[in-house]
Amino acid sequence: MLWTTLAEGEIYSGWWSQSPRFEEWRDGHRTLIVTRDEYGTPRLVRLISPVASDYLRPEWQPGAALR
């Protein structure tokens, strides 16, 4: 039994859908978590780095296309 004010469609939306596949790329001291869009272009999901200035680089912002 499910006790909630949300509609059943909201709770189970995406339940059986294809979940994104993540790839882990290493670039020196950085780790990039990447997924591919519908065209196969790798897009950055998450950057993990011990260097604070890496997070300010526009090419490593979430959603950025990678080569």
In terms of Cα–Cα distance, which of 13, 10, 17, 67 is closest to 42? 67
Q: Token pair of 59, please?
A: 């090419």
Q: Write the CB contacts of 45 (distance below 8 Å, at least 6 apart in sequence).
A: 22, 33, 34, 35, 62
User: What pLDDT, on a 0 to 100 scale, did the predictor assign at position 20?
Assistant: 79
Which pLDDT tens digits describe the chain residue by residue (67 residues)? 667 888 877 777 766 667 778 999 999 999 999 999 889 999 999 999 999 999 999 999 999 999 8
Taking CB atoms within 8 Å and a gap of at least 24, the contacts of 50-59 are: 54/30
**Start-to-end C-alpha separation, the chain:** 48
